[in-house]
Amino acid sequence: MSIKRKACIAGIYEYPLRKCPDQSIWQLHAAVADGALKDAGLSWEDVDGYFCGGDAPGGAMAMADYLGLTNQLTHYDTTDTGGSSYVMHVGKMAEAIVMGKCKVALCTLAGKPRTAPPTPRVPGAEQGFEGGYNGTPPNLYALAARRHMHEYGTTSEQLAWIKVAASTHAQYNPHAMLQDVVTVEDVVNSPMIADPLHMFDCCVVSEGGGAFIMTTPEIAKSLGKPIVNVLSAAQFLKGQAGGHGMDLTTSGLAVSGPKALELAGVTVDDIKYASIYDSFTITVLMQLEDMGFCKKGEGGKFVQDGNLISGQGRLPFNTDGGGLCNNHPVNRGGMTKVLEAVRQLRGEAHEKVQVPNCDIALVTGIGGTLTVRHGSAAAILERG
Amino acid sequence: MTEMIHKYPKVAKNEETKPFWDAAQEGRFLVRRCPACKEIHWYPRTLCPLCHKAETEWEEHSGEGEIYTWTVMRKSPTGPFALGYVKLDGGPHVYVRFRDGVTEGLEIGKRTRMVFDRISDEDVYLFADLA
């Protein structure tokens, strides 16, 4: 059974603030849900499916209770693979709709890591052997960047082009946390955080969140909004595998990416716009290789000279400014990746970054920690 | 023993890993090998995570290996520290922090050894050092 063209993203909303000292986490979830429902032209009473990740305190049961959705949900799902959860939910929501478990599915993400640090994920069995090392996203992703440079000669300047492209797009987003266009020199001269990653290789830490609504094609057509079809979604977990088969230059997207393309019946040549998970510049570079936009090891050449800049390069990416410049709410970038892909397919991106004739878009997610264990997800969306 | 400048959390031990930490107190580095596939894996688990055919057995390892990748974390309130993956001789890659103070001279392929440094009255913890 396929999900292809059997579910549509009908509503989206991104919270406008990047720092939210006066709002509760729950209040933010409610606000983004309300925004997405209004965007879709649907009401709270229509929601019969709810999907969330680890940012929702207490999971779907507690959050649905707060949102006033208990006693009406026929499907609910808490899945936490970090920031990729919301890209994975694209597939899970479509599957639930295709299976008849719900008709109007809501997915929310919200939080405020700057003013109320999220509760750490409950650790797994690895805790005894890793928990004391103070491994954090910058230093753990640096391990991949170092290895990629060693094996393929990738340079800091090449990685910097990814940030340059994101910043070029962010200047047109009035809500973006960082709106200044930066140069390659700015990136490589920014403070070293964890060799070889500089401050500008890292995404922002922002508050707020976002939400999207998925529904059946019949309901979507009745709403009068541009139709955005789900073509496919795929996921793959990658980790240390007992310490064997270690390859820190490849992400799980090397499996989930091609799988999503195959299920959608498209190739990378059909992708007009890509929301690529950008926790760090190296995350983007590896995923572009793993998706097949270029050969493994040639990501550095692929991204340089503005190839990711809308209107200039082969693959416009993260035209909202991405996690690198716009928003990476609750340290989880998957939600905003979905939202910008929908804007592009609707033709609602900023005119300076809107991709002409944008009919097929890719969304990717890498959640957890790239070099330790991560969940990867890819979804392919189509303008209806 | 290197003086600890960082604060380390209490080591999360359990029934399955107690022998590792008991040996660690004596400075011995234990790994688990599978009698079926003959491989050592990391971190230690009872059912072999590689072949799933047998329960693995403890054995002592020299702790020697080489750097697969590394970084120095500069943004740290207690000063820079290094993390990496070390490939153990004849065995798996191990995610490990370098001993406090070791932030210079790190290179992929350089020889390393595992060490246990005391982090509290009760606990020692696993670190890597350049050989």
Print the SS3 string covering A315-368: CCECCCCHHHHHCCECCCCHHHHHHHHHHHHHCCCCCCCCCCCCCEEEEEEEEE
Place of tokens 């929310």: A108
Question: Which of A121, A126, A139 to substitute to test the interface with B, most B CBs within 10 Å?
Answer: A139
Q: How far apart are CA A330 and CA A353, in angstroms?
A: 25
What is the model's pLDDT at position A365?
A: 98
Flag whether B77 is in a domain.
yes
Residues 174-213 of A with CB under 8 A from B: 191-197
Distance CA A19, CA A329 (A): 10
- In a domain, residue B6? The reply is no
Residue B38 lies in a domain: yes
DSSP state of B55: B
Distance CA A117, CA A59 (A): 17
CB pairs under 8 A between A and B: 122
- Per-residue pLDDT tens, chain A, 384 aa: give them: 899 999 999 999 999 999 999 999 999 999 999 999 999 999 999 999 999 999 999 999 999 999 999 999 999 999 999 999 999 999 999 999 999 999 999 999 999 999 987 777 788 999 999 999 999 999 999 999 999 999 999 999 999 999 999 999 999 999 999 999 999 999 999 999 999 999 999 999 999 999 999 999 999 999 999 999 999 999 999 999 999 988 999 999 999 999 999 999 999 999 999 999 999 999 999 999 999 999 999 999 999 999 999 999 999 999 999 999 999 999 999 999 999 999 999 999 999 999 999 999 999 999 999 999 999 999 999 999
Q: Within chain B, how many helices (H) and strands (E) appear?
A: 1, 8
Query: Left (φ > 0), alpha (ψ -120 to 50) or beta: where does A196 sit?
Result: alpha
Q: How far apart are the first and last CA of chain B?
A: 16
DSSP code at position A187 = H
- d(C-alpha A14, C-alpha A210), whole Å: 4
At B33 the three-state DSSP class reads strand
- Asked whether residue B77 carries a pLDDT value surpassing 90, the answer given is no
Mark yes or no for CB contact A243/B41 under 8 Å.
yes
Q: Distance (Å, rounded) from C-alpha A271 to C-alpha A39? A: 26
Range of the domain at B55: 18-130
CATH number at residue B92: 2.40.50.840
Check residue B1 and give its pLDDT: 44
> CA nearest B73 in A: which residue?
A194
Classify residue B23: in a domain, yes or no: yes
pLDDT score of B54: 97
- Residue B53 included in any domain: yes
Cβ of B73 within 8 Å of Cβ of A127? The answer is no
Predicted pLDDT at A382? 98
Q: Between β-strands A360-369 and B124-130, what pairing exists: parallel, antiparallel or unpaired?
A: unpaired
Determine the residue of chain B that is closest to A137 in CA distance.
B73
- Cα A243 to chain center, whole Å? 28
E-strand ranges in chain A read 8-14, 49-52, 75-78, 104-111, 192-194, 197-198, 208-215, 228-239, 273-275, 360-369, 373-383
Three-state SS at A173: coil
Question: Is residue B1 in some structural domain?
Answer: no
Query: pLDDT (tens digit, 9 = 90+) per residue, A102-131?
Result: 999 999 999 999 998 777 778 899 999 999
Please list every residue in chain B whose beta carbon sits closer than 8 Å to the beta carbon of residue A192: 74
By the 8 A CB rule, do B69 and A147 touch? yes
Q: Is residue B3 part of a domain?
A: no
Report the candidate in B51, B89, B85 with the shortest Cα–Cα distance to residue A150: B85
Q: Are A157 and A188 in contact (CB under 8 A)?
A: yes
User: Which residue from A211, A213, A210, A222 is spatially nearest to A7, judged by alpha carbons?
Assistant: A213
Is A132 in Cβ contact with B119 (below 8 Å)?
yes
Q: Is the pTM above the cut of 0.90?
A: yes
The answer to whether residue B80 sits within a structural domain is yes
Report the alpha-carbon distance of residue A274 to residue A345 in Å, rounded: 11
Q: What is the DSSP string of B74-96?
A: ---TT--EEEEEEEETTS-EEEE
Cβ neighbours of B79 (radius 10 Å): 12
The whole-number pLDDT of residue B6 equals 67
Q: pLDDT tens digits for B31-56?
A: 999 999 999 999 999 999 999 999 99
Number of domains forming the structure of chain B: 1
When the pLDDT of each residue in chain B is averaged and rounded to a whole number, the result is 94
Interface of B with A (CB under 8 A): 6, 8-9, 11-14, 17, 21, 39-45, 49-50, 68-76, 81, 83-85, 87-88, 91-97, 108, 119, 125-126
Test the A interface: residue of B15, B53, B78, B95 with most A CBs within 10 Å: B95
Strand segments (E) across A147-295? 192-194, 197-198, 208-215, 228-239, 273-275
Encoded tokens for B127: 């670190």
